[in-house]
């Protein structure tokens, strides 16, 4: 039998002797510190990176004010804001012409008996038995006037609309009872009347309640109504002349019409230039004779003029268009890259497109004129402005492209405005310039007006079609070289259990970049810790990426101890070269490499 007791005793003694004497107290696996440090030594990670277009990089949102626009077949980024505008209706009030009282001409006419009168009864062809010549030296004045709207600068002619049944009338009455007793009829022979000159319209002769158109007897240039050829035998001893005016011709009216300082005056002298009241033998009542005829005859000439409303005029007009306002352009909903403080955007080719309908032009040949002013504001503080003086709106449809650089604008006109007239718009390129992009651009239409110009038959008192149109602020995202877009973005929230254990000593991103983006981009990257503070003592050299078709090596380096990394602040500064940025602008990054040195320390 084996003596196991001895065996195990020996085994134990041997093991104990050998083992205990060799225990190294420096090593205790039960309490081992499992801290592990894994190093990255200038490890370069090469990546094949897809080229990226600006479209993907900017990721413009649908509601952004900057959108893709097609210009000459090329898609570009542009700020585009549309507004419409409409003036109040053009309306020049009716010119109301108010008459003044006209004193009647009253005379006593003396009888003349022709020498050949032989007391014979004769027909009308015979000579009168007596006549009473009208006294032609008697006259009276007429006057009517009205204050015209200031829009009426001068008048050549007026169209009028009467306010009474007639506009002018002259009533000649010789109804002396003494003569009526012996005569049944008298004749108004050889009558020529001096009426107001320049009248145009219808002239009516009313005798014995019978009207006769005698328009052709009136000479507007002289004002003479020649009735001498008329046989005017009247039984009621009255003669009425009526004028129903359509217009007053200022040239014909001569000095009788004045329009000065907005006051219209129509004045002059009216009288009977010639004429006689003739009595023929046949008209002497039975039983009476020449001897019974009174030797004098009462004669009353009563001119009357009534107020008229001028409904249109030919002459010169000048009119201020009212309420021609364009809503401010709100510069909001811009991409983050353009909306930060410090950004100073100077656009290479901003344009303002104005499309204006001027219905007055087609109807009256009227042209309008206005100046346009833009004023940028940011938080209520006025910034830069732009202006364009005296834009002539001389067609029925007027399309303008207002641009700071007219040559450039001509090359880059939007297709739908291909026929636009290019007008210099001073200062437009700097409209967005300043410390930060403005939040509004106020558009002022300055002095919109119909300049002094001749018109024909311009209606008064009517609502004429307004001037209206559309306004579009179109600014291709084309920065000039003095622009400075400052963009800062904080990417954070990275810190986690992994980054807590990572210490980066050096990091670099390098690439050969070919950029079609028409901008010089200067980048700096600063690491931040969990408190959001920049990690101190970390060197970061800025790099510049220029627009270039040739690959340009760039390297962004961070040197210094980076711990508790929570993210980075990317600061980018952009300036342009005048070309518009396009969604298709490509950035190619060849030889893209990330190089890292650092240590990852963790507990296993």
Binding footprint of other proteins on the chain (CB under 8 A): 2-3, 6-7, 10-11, 14, 18-19, 22-50, 52, 56-57, 591, 593, 599, 601, 604
Alpha helices (runs of H) in 107-215, residue ranges in sequence order: 177-180
- Min separation Cβ 526 and other proteins, Å: 20
- Min separation Cβ 30 and other proteins, Å: 6
Please count the residues of the chain.
Answer: 604
- Min separation Cβ 44 and other proteins, Å: 5
Spell 158-194 as b/e; 16+ CB within 10 A means b. bbbebeeebbbbbbbbbebeebeebbebbbbbbbbbb
Please state, in angstroms and as integers, the Cα–Cα distance from residue 272 to each residue in 29, 103, 134, 242, following that order: 144, 14, 7, 15
| Closer residue to other proteins in complex, CB, 42/456 | 42
Q: Which of 165, 425, 216, 176 is nearest to 299 (CA)?
A: 176
| Closer residue to other proteins in complex, CB, 388/582 | 582
| Closer residue to other proteins in complex, CB, 557/591 | 591
Residue with tokens 């052709």: 216
**Distance between CA atoms of residues 604 and 469, nearest Å:** 75
**Distance between CA atoms of residues 56 and 277, nearest Å:** 103
- Min separation Cβ 6 and other proteins, Å: 8
- Min separation Cβ 561 and other proteins, Å: 14
Spell 270-292 as b/e; 16+ CB within 10 A means b. bbbbbbbbbbbbebbeeeeeeee
| Closer residue to other proteins in complex, CB, 37/342 | 37
- Min separation Cβ 588 and other proteins, Å: 12
- Min separation Cβ 516 and other proteins, Å: 16
Q: What is the CA radius of gyration of the chain?
A: 51
- Min separation Cβ 453 and other proteins, Å: 59
| Closer residue to other proteins in complex, CB, 7/114 | 7
| Closer residue to other proteins in complex, CB, 123/604 | 604
- Min separation Cβ 574 and other proteins, Å: 18
**Distance between CA atoms of residues 505 and 165, nearest Å:** 105
Instruction: Give the three-state DSSP class for 564.
Output: coil
**Distance between CA atoms of residues 265 and 248, nearest Å:** 11
- Min separation Cβ 522 and other proteins, Å: 19
Q: Which of 453, 404, 407 is nearest to 432 (CA)?
A: 404
| Closer residue to other proteins in complex, CB, 57/103 | 57
| Closer residue to other proteins in complex, CB, 38/381 | 38
| Closer residue to other proteins in complex, CB, 53/355 | 53
Instruction: Give the three-state DSSP class for 217.
Output: helix
Give the E-state strand segments of 87-122 in sequence order: 95-99, 105-110
Joined tokens for residue 90: 């053009």
| Closer residue to other proteins in complex, CB, 36/410 | 36
Cβ proximity of 351 and 403 under 8 Å: yes
């Amino acid at each position: 039998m084996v003596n196991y007791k001895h065996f195990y005793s020996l085994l134990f003694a041997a093991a104990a002797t050998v083992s205990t004497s060799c225990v190294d107290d420096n090593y205790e696996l039960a309490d081992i510190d499992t801290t592990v440090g894994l190093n990255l030594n200038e490890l370069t990670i090469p990546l094949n990176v897809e080229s990226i277009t600006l479209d993907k990089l900017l990721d413009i949102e649908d509601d952004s004010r900057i959108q893709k626009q097609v210009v000459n077949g090329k898609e570009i980024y542009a700020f585009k804001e549309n507004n419409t505008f409409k003036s109040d209706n053009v309306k020049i009030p009716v010119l109301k012409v108010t008459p003044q009282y006209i004193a009647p001409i009253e005379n006593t006419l003396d009888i003349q008996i022709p020498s050949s009168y032989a007391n014979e009864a004769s027909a009308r062809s015979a000579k009168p038995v007596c006549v009473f010549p009208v006294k032609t030296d008697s006259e009276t004045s007429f006057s009517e006037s009205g204050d015209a709207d200031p829009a009426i600068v001068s008048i050549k002619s007026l169209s009028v609309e009467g306010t009474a049944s007639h506009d002018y009338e002259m009533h000649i009455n010789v109804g002396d009872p003494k003569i009526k007793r012996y005569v049944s009829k008298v004749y108004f022979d050889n009558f020529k009347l001096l009426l107001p000159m320049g009248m145009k319209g219808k002239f009516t002769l009313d005798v014995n309640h019978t009207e006769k158109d005698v328009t052709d007897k009136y000479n507007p240039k002289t004002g003479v109504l020649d009735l001498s050829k008329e046989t005017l035998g009247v039984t009621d001893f009255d003669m009425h002349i009526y004028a129903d005016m359509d217009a007053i011709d200022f040239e014909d009216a001569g000095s009788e019409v004045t329009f000065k300082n907005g006051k219209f005056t129509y004045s002059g002298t009216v009288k009977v230039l010639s004429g006689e009241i003739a009595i023929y033998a046949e008209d002497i009542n039975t039983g009476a004779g020449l001897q019974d005829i009174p030797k004098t005859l009462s004669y009353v000439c009563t001119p009357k003029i009534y107020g008229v409303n001028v409904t249109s005029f030919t002459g010169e007009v000048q009119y201020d268009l009212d309420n021609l306002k364009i809503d401010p352009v709100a510069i909001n909903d811009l991409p983050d890259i353009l909306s930060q403080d410090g950004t100073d955007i100077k656009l290479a080719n901003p344009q303002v497109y104005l499309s204006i309908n001027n219905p007055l032009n087609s109807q009256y040949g009227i042209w309008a004129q206005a100046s346009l002013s833009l004023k940028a504001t940011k938080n209520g503080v006025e910034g830069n402005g732009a202006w364009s003086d005296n834009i002539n709106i001389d067609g029925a449809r007027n399309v303008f492209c207002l641009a700071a650089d007219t040559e450039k604008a001509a090359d880059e006109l939007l297709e739908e405005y291909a026929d636009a007239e290019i007008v210099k718009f001073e200062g437009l390129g700097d409209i967005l310039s300043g410390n930060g992009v403005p939040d509004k651009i106020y558009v002022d239409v300055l002095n919109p007006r119909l300049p002094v110009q001749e018109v024909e038959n311009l209606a008064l008192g009517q609502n004429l079609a307004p001037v209206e149109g559309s306004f579009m602020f179109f600014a291709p995202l084309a920065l000039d070289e003095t622009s400075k877009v400052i963009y800062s973005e904080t990417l954070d929230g990275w810190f986690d259990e992994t980054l807590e254990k990572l210490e980066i000593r050096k990091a670099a991103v390098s690439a050969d970049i070919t950029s079609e983006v028409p901008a010089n981009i200067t980048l700096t990257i600063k690491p931040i810790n969990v408190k959001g503070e920049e990690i101190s003592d970390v060197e970061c050299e800025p790099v510049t990426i220029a627009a270039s078709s040739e690959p340009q090596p760039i390297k962004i380096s961070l040197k210094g101890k980076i711990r508790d990394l929570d993210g980075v602040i990317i600061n980018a500064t952009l300036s342009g070269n005048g070309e518009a940025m396009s969604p298709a602008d490509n950035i190619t990054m060849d030889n893209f490499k990330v190089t890292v040195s650092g240590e990852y320390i963790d507990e296993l």
